[in-house]
């Protein structure tokens, strides 16, 4: 399909704007492209994707995207969006050796499971257990964002961005908000920098 057929000005407009208000951190899964599931156009969302939408504080790729989005694009919102039926989440609940480097990556999800083991172990249905782990994982990754000096400095100086944790349903197309941290939210003191 030629994009200019239904919107003749599409590429002209695109060439001039890159002022997104949102940074999207989503899963690499081919079924969850950010623009399509949110009904937004190119130019509206700055995007980073990886397996199971993880925020890892040694991931230079993610941190460079976060730094650019927060400090240069001045985004007002950062969204971590997981999805039900996530293969990465399910894989992390098994004892299968996926070899390096997948084992390294999935370890981060196992750590989330361990933090909520009682609650998760109580759910007998495997899919339902993975659904809850998907939500808890999003919550943990949003908290990981708040632990970065990039976010804390922007919160202190400009009172933005707000952080959001969402989960997308592949079956119904519904986005469920599961967690939120407004700009300026206090976190465990151990992680708060005072000399920003």
Task: Return the active site residues.
Answer: 27, 29, 31, 83, 86
Residues 9-28 that bind Zn ion (CB under 5 A): 27
In the bound complex, what is the minimum distance in angstroms from residue 50's beta carbon to Zn ion? 9
Q: Which is nearer to Zn ion, 160 or 164 (CB)?
A: 164
In the bound complex, what is the minimum distance in angstroms from residue 29's beta carbon to Zn ion? 4
Q: Look-up: residue for tokens 């994009």?
A: 3
Q: Does the protein bind Zn ion through residue 29 (CB under 5 A)?
A: yes
- What character string, x for contact with Zn ion (CB under 5 A) and - otherwise, covers 49-88? -------------------------------------x-x
In the bound complex, what is the minimum distance in angstroms from residue 140's beta carbon to Zn ion? 15
Comparing CA positions, the residue from 104, 34, 32, 31 lying closest to residue 69 is 34
Q: Which residues bind Zn ion (CB under 5 A)?
A: 27, 29, 86, 88
């Amino acid at each position: 399909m030629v994009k200019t057929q239904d919107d003749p000005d599409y590429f002209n407009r695109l060439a001039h704007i890159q002022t997104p208000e949102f940074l999207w951190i989503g899963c690499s899964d081919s079924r969850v492209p950010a623009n399509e599931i949110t009904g937004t156009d190119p130019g509206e969302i700055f995007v980073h994707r990886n397996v199971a939408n993880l925020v890892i504080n040694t991931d230079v790729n993610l941190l460079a995207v976060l730094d650019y989005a927060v400090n240069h694009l001045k985004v007002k919102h950062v969204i971590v969006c997981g999805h039900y039926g996530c293969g990465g989440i399910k894989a992390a609940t098994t004892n299968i050796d996926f070899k390096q480097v997948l084992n390294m990556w999935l370890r981060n999800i196992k750590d989330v499971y361990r933090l909520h083991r009682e609650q998760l172990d109580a759910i007998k249905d495997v899919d339902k257990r993975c659904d809850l782990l998907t939500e808890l994982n999003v919550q943990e990754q949003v908290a990981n964002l708040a632990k970065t000096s990039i976010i804390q400095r922007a919160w202190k100086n400009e009172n933005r961005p707000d952080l959001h944790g969402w989960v997308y349903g592949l079956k119904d197309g519904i986005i469920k908000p599961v967690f939120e941290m407004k700009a300026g939210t206090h976190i465990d003191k151990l992680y708060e920098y005072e000399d920003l």
